[in-house]
Structure formats: C-alpha cells, structure tokens
Structure 1
Amino acid sequence: MHSAVLLIEFGAIILALGLLGRFAGRFQFSPIPLYLLAGLAFGTGGILPLGTSEEFVAIGAEIGVILLLLMLGLEYTASDLVSNLKTQYPAGIVDCTLNALPGAAAALLMGWGPVAAVVLAGVTWISSSGVIAKVLGDLGRLGNRETPVILSILVLEDLAMAVYLPIITALLAGVGLAAGSLTLAIALGAAGLVLFVAVRYGRVISRFVSSDDPEKLLLVVLGLTILVAGIAQQLQVSAAVGAFLVGIALSGEVAEGAHSLLAPLRDLFAAVFFVFFGLHTDPASIPPVLLPALALAALTACTKIATGYWAARRAGISVKGRWRAGGALVARGEFSIVIAGLAVTAGVEPSLGPMATAYVLILVVIGPLTARYAEPVAALVGKVTGRTGAGVPAAPATHAVPTDEPAAPAANPVPTDEPAAPAAHSVPTDEPGGRGPR
C-alpha cells in the first residue's frame, strides 16, 4: 500500500511538471517559477501537502543538483576556464562586488547574522546560465558581439562556485577556522589538480570513458559523477563541486555525447529539485519578506545591468550592445536556489528560504524582459533626455556615432554588435562542434 501511494504521488508530480513545462514552452518563458510554485502548493502549508513521496523527492533533488553542475562543467574545457580567468577576471571582480554586496548587506540589515549574509550574497551574485542561454537563443543573439562577454561572466561565476560552495558548506556545518581552512584547501587543491589533469591528460581520460554504445557511455559517466560527488561530500567539499570538476575533465566527443544523453535526465531531476525546494517553503512565510525581496531584486537587477554594460564597454562593444549585455545578465535561477537550499537544509535562518524563493521568482520572470527591452528603453530615455546611452550629449547627425552596422572598410573601425565574420571571432554556438550553452 505504501509503495502504491508513493508511485501515485511521484507519478502525479512528474506529470504535473511535464504539463507545466509544456505550458511555459508555449509562452516562451522559463518553467522555473512554475516548478517553484508547484512545490509551494504541495509542500508545508500548501493546498495539498505530500507525505509519502517526500523522501524519494529529496533523493531526486540531490541528483538534480549533481547533474546541473555536471552539465555545467561539460560546457567548458579546462583551457576555456584558464583563458577566461586571464582575460576577463576584472569583469568577474566587478560582478562579484556589485552583486554580492547587496545580498550580504540586506541579510545584515535584517539581523540574520554573518553566515546568512554570505549565503544571501551568493544568491544575489550568481546569474542563471540556463535561463540566459535560452533567452539568447530565443532572441537570436548567439552570434552578437556582446554574447562572448556575457558568456565570459557566466563562466567566471560558475568557476567561482567551485571555491564558494566549499566555503558555504564549512560555514553551514559550523566547523572551526582550522577545519574550514582545511576544507577550502582541499577544494582548491582538487580544482587545481583536475584542471591540470584535464589540460595535460584530457584525451586519455576521454578515451577511458568513451564508448560507441550510448548505454555504456551513460552508465560510466553517470556512475563516475555520482561516485566523485559522494567522495567530495564525504570530504565536506560539496557534491556539486565534485560533479562540476568531472564535467570539466571530460572533453571532445565524449563531452558532446554525454551532454546529449544526460540533458533529459538533467531536466527531469532539476525540475524535481525546484519542486523539493518549494515543498520546504511555507507559502505563508513569503508575504512578510516580499517587500525586501522586491527591493533587493530591483537593486540587483540594476547592478547586473551595470556589470554587463561595464564589461561590454571594456570589450569595445557599442552602446546598444552594452545595454543588451547588461539586460541579459539579470535572471537568477537554479544556482541561487541551490545555494539557498544548502542554508535551508542546515536551518540557518527560517526566513532565508522564503526570501530566496520570492527573489528568484521575481528575477526569473523579469530577466527575459530586461534582456529584450533594456536596450530599446535606454535608447528611448536617451532620446527624451537628449543624451546617448553612454551618458554623453547626443552628437549632431553629421558626426559618426557607434552603430550596430558593420563598419565601412575605409573608415576607422567603430564598435558594432553584428555577428562577427567567421575568420574574425569564434563564439559559442549550439551546433554539434561547439561547447556553448545548450
């Protein structure tokens, strides 16, 4: 009888997630807010609380986090990460400063303490690479000149998680300074070792994992990932970091094959993860934190736009492309919930889960809108105020200004946002040969 109820509840959850995903796809927006709302509806204090299947959903949610980080690692090679660190680290520093500090300050102002401040800083810092990649594809901007700038910032954020998550894990575990330092040292050492091995022996690892049989490839990659994630968690480094490092270590055809095989599993268990987070958030706890969440969302939307604008300007992108870059970075999603989920499980601050849920719900809806309309709104404001998007008086019509059209061969080059010629720039794509967002 117990197993029958479990199957009925879990089957209903999966069916509901599928229907919600189809609904979101029809209207071309992220299904993440719908998954969170479903969790709120069937969790503690919801319309119809679940009981029997909650433990099974918890295991599925943990697998969802592991697969999210594995797939993220598969998107990048070790050389990609090293290259981004060398060329784009100033943008990463600006991104962290402008977007993590508001979250930390908000937690301290609400009296939540330093640990909750570090957690909320991560929630407000990390953009949703999954939502952003989908929005860029839907808007046809994957070939735009500002897109590599956006992806570089996302890569740096993802890489920073390999350091940030062990810090959070140590803080939430309440370990002392010595133990926490040891945990961080192990995490950094493991990350450095994996990057070194991936650069030097990536082909050897890929040959070991490679298989022409999709079934064997799936089993080996999935088994290796869960094994490494478990070992990492046993060492208090974070299972997510272990999965991320496995993804980085795989490259070439193996990474492409694993990506296509694991993508449906990732989507399934990631959806279960969002539902699980919602299940543990009482809907009645959201209204008291809704106004702070709205204020924080408005502030960090502006700081993300400023981050993208500054990074694109540094890369020589024209004013229109700068606004598009900034608007595209606003969405928060899966990793903000992952970070908040760690704190909720540890029982750090009761209001942190509802705050993170409301915050992500707001920005995962607003993010696609800012990506689409940040540039035209900025242009409209510039016309009304008589100033350009760069904040200087508009030039007379006879003078040349940065445009989105290709520069004439005989003229001095100006920043553009048109897709680069194949010989000039290489940008991530969704084609089989690329390792860009999927």
Structure 2
Amino acid sequence: MFAAAAGEGSSLGTDLVVLGTLLVVAYIFGRLGKIIGLPAIPIYMIVGFLASPNNGWFPLNFQSGYIELIAVFGLILLLFNLGLEFDQDEFFGNAGKLLISGGSYLVLLMGAGLIFGFALGWGTREALIVAGIIGTSSSAIVTKLLIELNRLANRETPMILGVTVVQDIFLAVYLAIVSVILSGESDPWLVVGKLAIAFTFLVVMFSVARWGGAYVSRFFRTKDDELFTILFFGLAVLFGGLGEVLGVSDAIGAFLIGLVLGATRYSAKIEHVAVPLRDVFGAFFFLNFGLTLDPSQFALVIWPVILAVLLTLVLNVVAGQFMARLYGFSTQAGINAAAILMNRGEFALILAILALTAGLDERLQPFAGLYVLVMSVMGPLLASNSEKIGAALLRTKTVAVKPRPRNVLLEEQIALVEAATSDDSSADTARVVDRIVDQAGTPSDHPPEQTTKRDDDY
C-alpha cells in the first residue's frame, strides 16, 4: 500500500518536473521571440510541438492528456476575457460604420475561405471550418501589436479595432451555427430546435449585458478578494459548461458571461485578476494544441497551407484598401491595416479542436496548426515593417499616414499606455486603450467626454 502510494507520488513528481520544464522553456523561447517581435501564441505552440510525443524531439516523455482539463480552463478564460473587454458603447455608438467596415472584411475573407474550403475537397462541414480559420483575425494579437508598435494614435487604429469588435460579435453567432452543424443531427426539426435554443441563449445574454449590468453588480458586493475571484471564475466555468450543453460551445458560453460581467461596475476589478489567470491558463491551451500536432501529417497539408497563406495575404491587402477608402484614409493606412489584421490565433485553434471532436477530416488539425504558426509569425513581422513596405511600394521617403491634429488629452492617454505596458499591467492597459479608441474616433470639434463607464470604477 505504502509502496503503491510512493510509486504514484514518484510519477506525479516526474509529471510536475516535465510540466515545469515546459513552462520554463516557453519563457526562454518567449524572451527570444520578443527580440524579433513575436507574440506569445506561436511560442507556446512551438514549445508544445517540440515536446509532442509524436516526434520524440523532447528528451522527456509528455502526453497532452495530462493538461487537457487545464487547457479547457485556458480556452474558457481566453473567451471570457474577450467578452469582458468588449466595448459595448463603442460598438453601439458607431454601429453603422463598424458593420460596414468589419462586415465587408468578414464577407470577403469568409466567402473566399468557404470557396477555398470547397476547393480542397475535404467536405462541406470541413469547408465551413476552413472559412472560419481563414476569415477571422486574432483580437489579442492585433490589440497587443497596436500598443507595442505605438500606433494607438494612428488614423487607421479605430478602424482596425472596429473590425475586431465586429468579429467578436460575429464569432458568437458563427460558433452557435457551427456547433449545431457539427453535432451531426440529420432531422431538420431537431436542427431548427437546436438553433432556436442557441440563438435564444445568445439574445438573452446580450440583453442582460446591455441592460442588466446594474442588477448583476449586486452579486459581486464583497470586499473579500478570494471570494470575488472564486465567484467570477466559477461563473466563467459554469456558463462555459452551459454553453456546451445548449449547443453553442463552451467558448461562447464563457464569452457571453464575460460580456455580462464587463457591463458591471466591477469590470475593472475582474479584469485585474482575470488577465493574469488568462495568461497562465491560456499558455496551457496553446501548449496542449502544440502537443497534439504530428509533424508526419504536415506533408499532407503543406500545399493547402501555402495557398491559404497567399490567399489571406492578398485578401487582406484588398480589404485594407477598401476600408481605407471607406474612411477616407491614405493607401499607407490601408497597408498598415492589412498587415496587422493578417494575424491569426486562438479562434482558428478553437475551430480545429471542434472539428477534431466532431470527427471531421483529420487533416484539419495539422492544417490549422501549421497555418496559425505561419500567420502568427509572419503577421507581426509584416505589421512592424508595414510603413517601410508602404514607403517602398509607394516610392515615398516618409510614411504616408497623415498625423492627427495634436490632442493633449490623447497624448496623455498614450503616455499612460506606455507606463502601463512597462509595468506589465494588462488590465490597466486594456482600460486605457478603450479610452484612447473612443477619443481617437471623436472629431476634434467635439471634445470627448472626460469619464467613461470604467473610469467610474476608480
């Protein structure tokens, strides 16, 4: 009995050593990636890929099943934070122009992605997944790059963030539809019933987020930080499970409860705690996906990935120029927008996992993994050099983007962003970015308001 317990303890100790080693390696690779401007997502995936038992390159044996539950928590927190940081006032205040710019981007990219998916010949449901993988940017990478590249004051920045806002809303609806389609139901009435349940859930949660923030705030009246953390984390997991049960996926359930909590007066406090949790558990999500990749399957998808990357590049250039013309911006602004919106990340991997769970074509997982790896490495490099690329293509000696008129308040907020990012305060950064986007989109002859919903939390 004692020997068995000792044996189990030894196994647990070995597993913890391996897991800790992976995280330390991820840190080292992350520091190296910062030198060339890479975000964390591809770094974690690469570390997981190197440690995958499918290739035997890592000296320690490590199975992805060890961290699957933690990876699920990572997925839930990634989408929970996305909903938490969603700016409803920004969306509803500029819905018309946002829907035109963001909608045109989605229609172009999703439509071409769907045609490309059918051209691959993998199946109808697979084509729908490929369309989502190609058609949506990574909000996390886009926002992070805008901050790190000091482009928050650029004229095209509100347009770029507007596209990500529309994408976030679209993803909720898209995942609800995809989850029902992937369920395998053949009875049309059952399909209609599941869609009705899914959309009822979406409408109810969006309505609560829009008009019920004050009522939800009453549940968070506690000065105990430990109980406060347990409550919002429990709600994220609870609604993630509820979303899965109702057929809209755990990711969208978590996104919707994040949207609701983001409308409360405690949103800033929740962000302060939730962002570090997201970063830790999110690392497990990307590590786990890398662990499941099999390099022997890459040969089957190398040409589809190359074609998908080229297609994404061309379509983003077209979409960037169209949106720039729509807003009356320069060609250079369109190039900047195209480069930064090229980044793909967490959502493509979520779709790949859904496809794997539904038993779709096995090539979808290596396709999504290799595609995201390429795009999340190429995207930041293109974004950081987009002004140089534009100057070369346009044969100009200086950047063609016209600076906005000097705005003292805006400059003050940019200084706050730099201070926040230097202290690694992600929650503070997110709040400051919200205020900057609001000010950047406000005409100079109408001074922006001095307070926002999140300012009141202070």
- In the superposition, the TM-score normalised over structure 1's length comes to 0.85
Counterpart of 2:238 in structure 1 is 227
Counterpart of 2:362 in structure 1 is 350
Please report the RMSD computed on the Cα atoms of aligned residues, expressed in angstroms: 2.9
Q: Which moved more, 1:119-128 or 1:164-173?
A: 164-173
Per the alignment, do residues 342 and 375 of structure 1 end up closer, same or farther by CA in structure 2, a change over 3 Å counting?
A: same
Counterpart of 1:129 in structure 2 is 139
Matches within 5 A, 1:118-157: 118-157=128-167
Deviation of the 1:292 alpha carbon: 2.1
1:137-193 deviation per Cα after TM superposition (whole angstroms, max 9, x unaligned): 111011222111001100111111111112221222212333333333223222222
- The question of whether the paired residues in 2 share the 8 Å contact of 1:42 and 1:48 is answered with yes
SS of residue paired to 1:141: coil
Q: Distance in 2 between matches of 1:52 and 1:365?
A: 25
Deviation of the 1:214 alpha carbon: 2.6
SS of residue paired to 1:121: helix
Q: Which moved more, 1:170-179 or 1:268-277?
A: 170-179
Q: Distance in 1 between matches of 2:246 and 2:206?
A: 19
SS of residue paired to 1:106: helix
Q: Distance in 2 between matches of 1:168 and 1:437?
A: 35
1:212 pairs with 223, 229, 243, which one?
223
Matches within 5 A, 1:52-67: 54-67=64-77
Moved over 6 A (4+): 49-52, 426-429
- The question of whether the paired residues in 2 share the 8 Å contact of 1:124 and 1:300 is answered with yes
Counterpart of 1:319 in structure 2 is 331
- The question of whether the paired residues in 1 share the 8 Å contact of 2:70 and 2:284 is answered with yes
Q: Distance in 2 between matches of 1:11 and 1:161?
A: 34
- The question of whether the paired residues in 2 share the 8 Å contact of 1:333 and 1:364 is answered with yes
* Residue identity opposite 2:48 in structure 1: G
1:104 aligns with 2:88: no
Per the alignment, do residues 212 and 304 of structure 1 end up closer, same or farther by CA in structure 2, a change over 3 Å counting?
A: farther
SS of residue paired to 1:286: helix
Deviation of the 1:196 alpha carbon: 1.9
* Residue identity opposite 2:240 in structure 1: A
* Residue identity opposite 1:123 in structure 2: I
- The question of whether the paired residues in 2 share the 8 Å contact of 1:75 and 1:436 is answered with no
Per the alignment, do residues 88 and 14 of structure 1 end up closer, same or farther by CA in structure 2, a change over 3 Å counting?
A: same
Q: Distance in 1 between matches of 2:333 and 2:387?
A: 8
Deviation of the 1:423 alpha carbon: 8.6
Q: Distance in 2 between matches of 1:155 and 1:171?
A: 25
Counterpart of 1:78 in structure 2 is 88
Per the alignment, do residues 293 and 145 of structure 1 end up closer, same or farther by CA in structure 2, a change over 3 Å counting?
A: same
* Residue identity opposite 1:269 in structure 2: F
Q: Distance in 2 between matches of 1:63 and 1:29?
A: 24
Counterpart of 1:378 in structure 2 is 390
Matches within 5 A, 1:13-52: 13-47=22-56
* Residue identity opposite 1:222 in structure 2: F
% of aligned pairs identical?
Answer: 31
1:282 aligns with 2:289: no
Greater share of helix: 2
Counterpart of 1:294 in structure 2 is 306
Q: Distance in 2 between matches of 1:332 and 1:339?
A: 12
Per the alignment, do residues 190 and 77 of structure 1 end up closer, same or farther by CA in structure 2, a change over 3 Å counting?
A: farther
Deviation of the 1:253 alpha carbon: 4.5
SS of residue paired to 2:212: helix
1:238 pairs with 249, 258, 262, which one?
249
Per the alignment, do residues 381 and 145 of structure 1 end up closer, same or farther by CA in structure 2, a change over 3 Å counting?
A: closer
* Residue identity opposite 1:113 in structure 2: G
1:243-283 deviation per Cα after TM superposition (whole angstroms, max 9, x unaligned): 11111112355111111211121111111111211222211
SS of residue paired to 2:395: helix
Deviation of the 1:419 alpha carbon: 6.7
Matches within 5 A, 1:393-404: 404=401
- The question of whether the paired residues in 1 share the 8 Å contact of 2:213 and 2:260 is answered with yes
Deviation of the 1:64 alpha carbon: 1.0
Q: Distance in 1 between matches of 2:406 and 2:380?
A: 21
* Residue identity opposite 2:325 in structure 1: R
Q: Which moved more, 1:372-381 or 1:190-199?
A: 372-381
Per the alignment, do residues 382 and 46 of structure 1 end up closer, same or farther by CA in structure 2, a change over 3 Å counting?
A: same
Per the alignment, do residues 26 and 207 of structure 1 end up closer, same or farther by CA in structure 2, a change over 3 Å counting?
A: farther
Q: Distance in 1 between matches of 2:328 and 2:44?
A: 39
Deviation of the 1:378 alpha carbon: 3.0
- In the superposition, the TM-score normalised over structure 2's length comes to 0.82
* Residue identity opposite 2:20 in structure 1: G
Counterpart of 2:19 in structure 1 is 10
Per the alignment, do residues 283 and 53 of structure 1 end up closer, same or farther by CA in structure 2, a change over 3 Å counting?
A: closer
Structure 1 unmatched runs, 5+: 389-401, 406-415
Per the alignment, do residues 382 and 34 of structure 1 end up closer, same or farther by CA in structure 2, a change over 3 Å counting?
A: same
- The question of whether the paired residues in 1 share the 8 Å contact of 2:348 and 2:372 is answered with yes
- The question of whether the paired residues in 1 share the 8 Å contact of 2:410 and 2:436 is answered with no
Counterpart of 1:395 in structure 2 is none
Q: Distance in 2 between matches of 1:113 and 1:125?
A: 18
- The question of whether the paired residues in 2 share the 8 Å contact of 1:76 and 1:435 is answered with no
Deviation of the 1:237 alpha carbon: 1.7
